[in-house]
Amino acid sequence: MADIIQLLPDNIANQIAAGEVIQRPASAVKELLENAVDAGATEIRLIISDAGKALVQVIDNGKGMSPTDARMAFERHATSKIKQIDDLFRIKTMGFRGEALASVAAVAQVEIKTRRAEDELGTYLEIENSRVVKQEPCAAPAGTSICMKNLFFNVPARRNFLKSNAAELRHIIDEFIRVAMAFPDIFFSLTSNGQEMFHLEKGSLKQRIVQILGNQYNAKLVSVSEETDYMNIYGFVGKPETARKTRGDQYFFVNNRFIKSAYLNHAVNTAFEGMIGKDSFPGYVIYIDLDPAQVDINVHPTKQEIKFEDEKIIYAFVQAAVKHALAQSSIAPSLDFTLNADIQQLDAVNKPFTTEQKDVAVSSSLYKTFTQKNQAHFIEPENKSELRHWKDFFTEPADKPARSSEQKPAPAHDPLDFLLAPKKPQLQVLTDSPLLQLHNTYIIAPTDSGFILIHQQLAHERILYNRYSVAAHGKKMASQQTLFPATLELAPADAALLNDLLPDLQAIGYQLSASGNNNFTITGIPADVLQGNETHAIELLIEQFKHFSSEVTFSRREKLVRCMARQQAIKAGQSLSQKEMFTLAEELFACSNANITPTGNPTFIEYKEDQLDRMFGK
């Protein structure tokens, strides 16, 4: 019987290895940028075309390569950084696995021009399917230029799994930002389809952060800086008012390498405890420098997940450093035992305490409860006590106007005839009985067979989801013109996402258009959205869309509709009028699947009369 186990051909082995390292154009961008940093470059330019599918080019002014090195760099497991196994635990460079260029060459057509400063001529190489098809001397500036063309040209099945150009561009921008943020002393630029998206001059760390995240952070960053024998922590955290409802601008770097760590993220969140809401997430850019022997960065092909030798120490240091930074900036609460000299000048301190005032104070029963014996648990009858009016401090006057329900958009009053073909509602709320709002969250509505308990936020989410779904898939929603056009300025990554979402947003009633330089103009909003905060609403929508999580894969339009419904739904805690409660109940039971939200949570619970009787033993 013939043997059946055989060695894979090199080209197939390379393509399998490339599957680990090069998953999309952004993967190649990351590897090529890191190589340029390792080459000692002070200027790095990234040029992409067709979201990296047609071209990814990285040009640097680093030390370049000799003709032999240029050819060797594309061999598997070829690296200049590891000569013995111990070197693996002293890695301070970005790339070291020796698979990046080999993986790129296995799934793309590669051209490279490189020259060392001491050489008169450079080297030109063309590589295809891991084979060198041309090598010759050439004129070239000092440094290296690598072109990766037609990614996955020889693996069409892999190419079919790539997302839209806008989605792939966002991934490229993410990888570009992570490298550029780690090295503020290097010039970086990113050009996409001939348009420069980033032009990052050398500067301080804060300047680089503001260049990338936006000018709105300029006055809202708190410096973090702690040095110890074990590790150094430095960087910036955003002030509490910059916290977002979704995980936005959060960056951790260990030895200048971007990492993802839910454990360290928790350390930062706990440092902000009490200063931001439990459903909010702080922004931060934090760098950790420690001995490479204390960390293993070779546990994942992308090197974004790492292991610390003692992660509890790292956690404690990060938490303490952020807390200390917030306290020093007078953001976190702290105790100050020094007496302010201004207090001595206060009128109450300067005035003498007269004998008459003293007699009045001493004769009061309140004074006696603090000075006489056996008074600690003595409480006077309420009608005699001087404290009988204490409740007045905590109750609102009867004539105080009720909380306005205009702060949030109440359910629209137009019938949802376009949601479904006319059909009898599943449940009928009695119109001659008043509805009761409980804890400004639940609505108790009587029916002819018992009553229902409606969760106002979840119910409104179902109503809006049905409304936006119909609009997004055909019948465009009505828009209301804004009084004054609003300008929205976004980071490049968010601008690329919003460009991708424009047709879907316009379908559900938004009127906005790109006005250049990552700016957008808003001239109209959906008819049932309250005016006045259009820019914040779209920023929040983008954040929700970016961090949308579900076990089921949804289309872009479906994700947008779900995010929009969740954002615009009236929230728990908002007071509603009788008319608004009736409208909410009527519109809910006119919906298909009225009993659950799009995510599967119940919108109401029904209590039938016979069920109530059984509960009371009848």
Q: Using alpha carbons only, what angle is made at residue 462 by residues 456 and 468, rounded to the nearest 5 degrees?
A: 130
Q: Is residue 340 part of a domain?
A: no
Q: Kindly state whether residues 186 and 128 are assigned to the same domain.
A: yes
Q: Using alpha carbons only, what angle is made at residue 417 by residues 411 and 420, rounded to the nearest 5 degrees?
A: 110
How many domains is the chain built from? 3
Q: Is residue 379 part of a domain?
A: no
Q: Is residue 616 part of a domain?
A: no
Q: Most confidently modeled of 5-9, 237-241, 493-497? A: 237-241
Q: Kindly state whether residues 184 and 210 are assigned to the same domain.
A: no
| CATH code, domain with 444 | 3.30.1370.100
Q: Kindly state whether residues 568 and 503 are assigned to the same domain.
A: yes
Q: Using the 8-state DSSP alphabet, how is residue 391 labeled?
A: G
In whole angstroms, what is the distance from residue 283 CA to residue 221 CA?
9
Is residue 74 within 8 Å of 68, Cβ to Cβ? no
pTM of structure = 0.67
Using DSSP, state whether 294 is helix, strand or coil: helix
Amino acid 546: pLDDT: 75
Q: Is residue 103 part of a domain?
A: yes
Q: Kindly state whether residues 131 and 153 are assigned to the same domain.
A: yes
pLDDT class of 487 with cuts at 50, 70, 90 = confident
Q: Kindly state whether residues 147 and 212 are assigned to the same domain.
A: no
Q: Using alpha carbons only, what angle is made at residue 425 by residues 422 and 431, rounded to the nearest 5 degrees?
A: 120
Domain that holds residue 21: 10-200
Percentage of residues in the chain with pLDDT exceeding 70?
76
Distant-in-sequence, close-in-space partners of 418: CB < 8 Å, separation ≥ 6: 467, 470, 475
Average pLDDT, stretch 251-273?
87
Q: Kindly state whether residues 172 and 269 are assigned to the same domain.
A: no
In whole angstroms, what is the distance from residue 558 CA to residue 597 CA?
14
Mean of per-residue pLDDT scores for the chain: 79
Is residue 99 within 8 Å of 30, Cβ to Cβ? no
Q: Is the pLDDT higher at 339 or at 111?
A: 111
Q: Kindly state whether residues 101 and 233 are assigned to the same domain.
A: no
Query: For 527-616, where are the E strands, in sequence order?
Result: 604-608
| CATH code, domain with 194 | 3.30.565.10
Q: Is residue 381 part of a domain?
A: no
Tokens 């990296």, residue? 52
Task: List, for residues 291-303, the tens digit of each pLDDT value.
Answer: 877 776 655 555 5
Write out the two tokens for 385. Answer: 């006590």
Q: Kindly state whether residues 111 and 174 are assigned to the same domain.
A: yes
Q: Please check the confidence at residue 22 and state whether its pLDDT lies above 90.
A: no
Q: Is residue 212 part of a domain?
A: yes
